[in-house]
């Protein structure tokens, strides 16, 4: 009886690992979406109001980014520091793009800033589309792998 | 005379500077201007003296200071940079260059109360009815004097309604003008500011700094037909020099100003010497 309980547990854990891997992919997608909206917001505020970054950060809100503490750090320490805070939850290409964006933000005239925003919005959108297209495949892959891994473990232990 | 120092602002400015410059500034005592130039010596202006240090700042250091002066948002200051300045907490920072700033001049504002002296007595005698133009070469203290007169006129015993047109954010100071009946219009052109003030604030005196171009003078003239006296300043070394400037001549001839006051000040001396003339004396 104990043996079967153990095997069930191993199988369940394997399935959970697969689900967590899928959840991470979904979270990354949501994060990317939220960061696109932040970038677009920054662009709009610069374009129409020439607003300073402190004001822009103070006026932005997004549930996903608030939950992970990004907004708090953004308002206190700026975009670079806030990105560091959520770096583990971001796909590397999204992080790299945003880190480059953050390093150039506020350091040039309006038109250059708008070009910078536009360039990175494009890059983030491309990454978002890629992630979104890959998500169902990834979910299927993680589910299959976890079930297979669980079953293999169970068969070996049986 | 009562002097109101500005240690807080000076401290704020010092915090932005590279450590070497900060130490040199602290050693100099009271400073009026701090000049930073890429790959050239940093200099200070203290009480009319030009103090050249052996500290040299790099382009990166200057960029960093400019970034801090702009609060990390250069784009938000683009327009004022194109006009040659950045407003940092009421300190006017003169800048050279737009895309690449090669030198900056940070002016530390001074707030000295009760320096209006003879001019203030004259204005009060006329019950502040006449437009007055204060002129002097740069760096003598026109803005300091204007600020003091604005604060004095708008506080007891005069309690006049004063509108301050503060285009560059350096004329009005909330700390110094606490308790004064002053309305301040920031970020608008002088002509527009005068028009808005006249239309909506019914001031008894309008104060603005540094009238320059003929366009500006023309716009001021058309906005200035309401009868509200204007107290302003302009760069000129003498009354003759003043009248050689077409804009100033036009304003004088069209009776925008009735009094013209040249000011002078010796180094380390806070007292001004006034040369007050009426319009007819000036024009004859």
Nearest Cα residue to B169 out of B263, B102, B69: B69
Q: Percent of chain A scored above 90 by pLDDT?
A: 70
HEC string of chain B equals CEEECCHHHHHHHHHHCCHHHHHHHHHHCCCCEEEEEECEEEEEEECCEEEEEEEEECHHHHHHHHHHHCCCCHHHHHHHHHCCEEEECCEEEEEECCCCCCEEEEECCCEEECCCHHHHHHHHHCCCCCCEEEEECCCCCHHHHHHHHHHHHCCCCCCCCEEEEECCCCCCCCCCCCCCCEEEEECCCHHHHHHHHHHHCCCCEEEECCCCCHHHHHHHHHHCCCCCCEEEEEECCCHHHHHHCHHHHHHHHCCCCCEEEEEECCCCCCCCEEEEEEHHHHHC
B115 CB within 8 Å of a chain A CB: no
CB neighbours of A137 closer than 8 A, spacing ≥ 6? none
Arithmetic mean of pLDDT, A132-141: 91
**Across A96-105, B9-18, B99-108, which has the greatest mean pLDDT?**
A96-105
Q: Using an 8 Å Cβ cutoff, are A54 and B73 in contact?
A: yes
Sorted by sequence, the CB contacts under 8 Å of residue A146 that are 6+ apart come out as: A14, A15, A16, A17, A18, A19, A21
Residue-level pLDDT at B267: 64
Domain ranges of chain A: 2-157
Q: Tokens for B124, please give them.
A: 């009060």
Q: Which residue of B has its CA nearest to A109?
A: B75
Taking contacts as CB-CB distances below 8 angstroms, the residues of chain A near B75 are 46, 50, 106, 108-110, 112-113
The answer to whether the CB of B66 falls within 8 A of the CB of B48 is no
Beta bridge partner(s), residue B184: B164
Rg of chain A in Å (alpha carbons): 21
What percent of chain B lies above the pLDDT cut of 90? Answer: 32
Res B220: pLDDT: 78
Say yes or no to pLDDT of A74 above 70.
yes
pLDDT-wise least confident of A37-46, A79-88, B42-51: B42-51
Distance CA A133, CA B96 (A): 51
ipTM passes above 0.85: no
A46 to chain B, closest Cα gap in Å? 8
Closest CA to B146 of B125, B163, B126: B163
**A42: confidence class by pLDDT, cuts 50, 70, 90:** very high
Instruction: Flag whether residue B97 sits within 8 Å of chain A, measured between CB atoms.
Output: no
Beta bridge partners of B268: none
Please list, in sequence order, all residues whose beta carbon lies within 8 angstroms of the beta carbon of residue A136, skipping any fewer than 6 positions away: none
Q: Domain coordinates of chain B in residue numbers?
A: 2-107, 111-283
> Rounded distance, CA B142 to CA B242, Å?
14
Q: Which two tokens stand for residue B2?
A: 């009562």
Query: In this model, does residue B6 exceed pLDDT 60?
Result: no
Mean predicted confidence (pLDDT) in B85-97? 85
- Which of A88-97, B10-19, B105-114, B137-146 is most confident? A88-97
CA distance B127 to chain A (A): 42
Which CATH code for domain B2-107? 3.30.450.90
Residue A120 has pLDDT above 60, yes or no: yes
pLDDT at residue number B194: 86
Q: B111-283 has which fold?
A: Rossmann fold (3.40.50)
* Matching residue, tokens 């040199």: B24
Which residues of A touch chain B, with CB atoms under 8 Å apart?
A: 46, 50-54, 78, 105-110, 112-113
pLDDT score recorded for residue B1: 46
Could you say which DSSP state residue A68 is in? Answer: T
- Give B190-242 pLDDT, tens digit per residue: 888 888 888 899 899 999 988 877 877 877 787 667 778 999 999 998 888 88
Cα separations in angstroms, B189 against A22, B165, B194, B222, B252: 58, 8, 8, 14, 21
In chain B, residues with a C-beta closer than 8 Å to the C-beta of A54 are 71-73
Site from B73, B77, B95 to mutate, A interface, most A CB atoms within 10 angstroms: B73
| Alpha carbon of A91: minimum distance to chain B alpha carbons (Å) | 27
Q: Return the minimum-mean-pLDDT range out of B111-115, B234-238, B243-247.
A: B111-115
Percent of chain B whose predicted confidence (pLDDT) is above 70: 94
Q: Do residues B106 and B90 touch, judged by C-beta distance below 8 A?
A: no
Average pLDDT over residues B144-156: 91
**What mean pLDDT, rounded, does chain B reach?**
85
| Min Cα separation A104/chain B (Å) | 10
State how far the Cα of B211 lies from the Cα of B191, in Å rounded to an integer.
10
The mean pLDDT value for A27-56 works out to 94
Task: Specify which of A54-68, B23-37, B262-276 reaches the highest per-range mean pLDDT.
Answer: A54-68
How long a stretch of residues is chain A?
Answer: 158
């Amino acid at each position: 009886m104990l043996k079967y309980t153990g095997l069930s547990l191993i199988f369940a854990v394997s399935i959970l690992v697969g689900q967590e891997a899928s959840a991470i992919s979904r979270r990354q997608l949501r994060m990317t979406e939220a960061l696109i909206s932040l970038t677009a917001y920054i662009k709009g505020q610069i374009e129409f109001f020439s607003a300073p970054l402190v004001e822009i950060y103070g006026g932005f809100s997004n549930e996903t980014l608030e939950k992970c503490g990004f907004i708090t750090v953004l308002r206190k320490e700026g975009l670079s520091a806030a990105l560091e805070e959520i770096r583990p939850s971001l796909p590397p290409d999204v992080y790299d793009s945003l880190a480059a964006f953050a390093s150039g933000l506020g350091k040039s005239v309006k038109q250059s800033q708008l070009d910078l925003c536009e360039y990175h919005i494009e890059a983030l959108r491309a990454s978002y589309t890629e992630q979104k297209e890959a998500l169902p495949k990834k979910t299927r892959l993680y589910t299959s792998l976890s079930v297979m891994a669980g079953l293999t473990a169970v068969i070996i232990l049986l | 005379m009562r002097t109101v120092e500005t240690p807080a602002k000076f401290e704020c400015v010092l915090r932005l500077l590279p450590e070497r410059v900060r130490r040199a500034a602290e050693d100099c005592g009271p400073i009026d201007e701090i000049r930073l130039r890429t790959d050239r010596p940093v200099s200070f202006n203290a009480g009319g003296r030009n103090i050249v240090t052996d500290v040299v700042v790099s382009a990166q250091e200057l960029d960093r200071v400019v970034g801090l002066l702009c609060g990390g948002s250069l784009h938000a200051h683009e327009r004022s940079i194109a006009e040659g300045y950045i407003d940092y907490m009421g300190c006017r920072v003169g800048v050279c260059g737009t895309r690449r700033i090669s030198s900056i001049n940070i002016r530390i504002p001074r707030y000295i109360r009760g320096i209006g002296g003879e001019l203030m007595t004259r204005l009060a005698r006329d019950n502040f009815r006449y437009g007055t133009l204060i002129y002097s070469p740069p760096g003598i203290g026109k803005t300091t004097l204007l600020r003091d007169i604005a604060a004095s006129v708008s506080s007891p015993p005069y309690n006049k309604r004063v509108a301050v047109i503060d285009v560059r954010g350096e004329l009005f100071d909330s700390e110094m003008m606490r308790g004064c009946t002053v309305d301040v219009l920031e970020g608008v052109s002088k002509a527009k500011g005068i028009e808005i003030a006249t239309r909506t604030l019914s001031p008894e005196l309008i104060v603005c700094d540094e009238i320059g171009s003929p366009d500006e003078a023309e716009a001021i003239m058309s906005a200035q037909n309401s009868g509200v006296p204007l107290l302003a300043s302009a760069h000129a070394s003498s009354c003759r020099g003043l009248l050689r400037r077409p804009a100033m001549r036009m304003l004088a001839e069209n009776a925008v100003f009735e009094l013209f006051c040249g000011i002078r000040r010796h180094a380390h001396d806070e007292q001004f010497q006034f040369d007050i003339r009426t319009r007819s004396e000036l024009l004859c």
